[in-house]
C-alpha cells in the first residue's frame, strides 16, 4: 500500500535530510514538506507547505490540505539559540523570561499543536508513527551537568507531551507509535556554536543522523510507543 509522510521543519539541517531520504523511498507516494518559507520542488512526490509553529491556524490549515491517512508525521523543528534571542544559559542568572518563553513556544507548544491536528490523521487500523526530535539533554534522569535551563526544560516538557499523546492514542489508534528522538550531535546551524570538544566521529552529518533515525522508526512497535530513543536505537530514560 502506498504511504505518505508529513515533515515539519523541511528547511532545517536534519529535517531536510529526512525529506530527501523519504523521497528516495519507493514505498512513499507523497511527502508533505513544511517550512516557514517553502519553495517549489521539481520532485512530483514532494508537496511543500507553509506553517509557523507560533501560528496555530497555519498548522490547522496544513492538516486540512492532507488527503488520506498519514503513515509518518516527523517533527524536525526546534530552537536552541537565535541572534538577539535565546542562548543556552550557563547559570540561572542568565535566564531571561522572554527567551525562555520563546523556547517553550517553539520546542514544546508548537509540536503539541502539530500533534493536535496531525495525530488524528494517523491510520486507525494500521501502523502509523508520530516522531519528534527531542534531545538527550531533555532527559531529567540523564542530567548531570546542569545548565541550558530553558532548552532542557522545553525538551523535558516535550517528552511529557509525547508520553501523554502515546497514552491517548492507545485508545483510538492501537497500532500508533509515538517516539521522541535524540539525533546525536549533528552538524547543523543549531549545533554550530557548540561543536568544540565534540570528537569528529561523534559529529554526524545530517544525512547520517536522518538514516539512523528513519531506521529506528521502521523497527519500533506499538509497545515502544511513548519512548525517547537515541540515534543508536538505545532507549534513554526520561
Ligand atoms: N543538531 C543537533 O546536534 C541536535 C542535537 C539534539 C537535538 N536536536 C534537535 O533536532 C531538531 C532539529 O535541529 P537541527 O539541528 O536540524 O536545527 P536547524 O537546522 O536549526 O533546524 C531547525 C528547524 O526548525 C524550524 N523552525 C524554527 N522556528 C520555527 C517556527 N517558528 N516555525 C516553523 N519552523 C520553525 C526551522 O525553520 P526555519 O528554517 O524557517 O528557521 C528549521 O527548519 C531540534 O528540535 C533540535 O533541538 C538537534
Rounded distance from Cα 183 to ligand 1 centre (Å): 12
Q: Is 133 in the pocket of ligand 1 (CB under 6 A)?
A: yes
Mean pLDDT for 57-82 is 98
* pTM for this entry: 0.98
For residue 30, give the 3-state DSSP assignment.
Answer: strand
Average pLDDT estimate for 21-44 = 96
In contact, 156 and 140? CB cutoff 8 Å: yes
Note the pLDDT tens digit of each residue in 136-183.
999 999 999 999 999 999 999 999 999 999 999 999 999 999 999 999
Closest CA to 73 of 13, 125, 29, 31: 31
Q: Pick from 183, 185, 205, 210 the residue to mutate for probing ligand 1's pocket: most ligand atoms within 8 Å of its CB.
A: 183
Antiparallel, parallel or unpaired: β 28-35 and 3-8: parallel
Does 15 sit in the ligand 1 pocket, CB within 6 Å? yes
The 10s digit of each residue's pLDDT in 85-126 is 999 999 999 999 999 999 999 999 999 999 999 999 999 999
pLDDT score of 1 more than 90: no
Cα 204 from Cα 183, distance rounded (Å): 9
Torsion-angle region of 156 (φ positive above 0: left; ψ -120 to 50: alpha; else: beta)? alpha
Is the CB of 58 inside a 6 Å radius of any atom of ligand 1?
no
**What distance in angstroms lies between residue 175's CA and the mean position of ligand 1's atoms?**
28
Q: Which residue's entry shows cell 500533534?
A: 115
Nearest to 188 by CA among 32, 78, 85, 72: 78
Alpha helices in 69-205 (DSSP H): 97-104, 110-118, 149-172
pLDDT band at 2 (very low <50, low <70, confident <90, very high): confident
Amino acid at each position: 500500500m502506498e504511504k505518505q509522510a508529513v515533515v515539519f521543519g523541511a528547511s532545517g539541517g536534519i529535517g531536510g535530510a529526512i525529506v530527501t531520504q523519504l523521497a528516495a523511498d519507493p514505498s512513499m507516494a507523497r511527502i508533505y514538506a513544511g517550512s516557514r518559507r517553502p519553495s517549489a520542488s521539481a520532485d512530483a512526490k514532494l508537496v511543500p507547505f507553509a506553517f509557523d509553529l507560533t501560528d496555530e491556524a497555519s498548522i490547522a490549515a496544513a492538516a486540512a490540505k492532507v488527503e488520506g491517512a498519514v503513515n509518518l508525521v516527523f517533527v524536525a523543528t526546534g530552537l536552541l539559540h537565535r541572534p538577539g534571542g535565546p542562548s543556552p544559559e550557563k547559570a540561572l542568572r542568565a535566564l531571561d523570561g522572554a527567551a525562555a518563553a520563546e523556547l517553550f513556544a517553539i520546542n514544546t507548544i508548537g509540536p503539541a499543536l502539530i500533534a493536535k491536528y496531525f495525530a488524528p490523521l494517523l491510520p486507525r487500523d494500521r501502523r502509523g508513527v508520530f516522531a519528534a526530535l527531542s534531545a538527550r539533554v531533555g532527559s531529567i534522569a540523564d542530567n548531570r551537568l546542569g545548565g541550558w535551563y530553558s532548552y532542557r526544560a522545553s525538551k523535558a516538557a516535550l517528552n511529557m507531551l509525547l508520553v501523554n499523546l502515546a497514552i491517548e492514542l492507545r485508545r483510538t489508534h492501537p497500532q500508533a507509535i509515538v517516539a521522541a528522538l535524540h539525533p546525536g550531535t549533528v552538524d547543523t546551524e543549531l549545533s554550530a556554536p557548540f561543536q568544540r570538544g565534540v570528537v569528529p566521529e561523534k559529529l554526524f552529518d545530517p544525512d547520517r543522523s536522518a538514516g539512523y533515525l528513519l531506521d529506528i522508526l521502521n523497527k519500533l512497535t506499538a509497545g515502544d510507543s511513548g519512548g525517547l530513543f537515541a540515534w543508536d536505537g538505545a532507549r534513554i530514560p526520561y
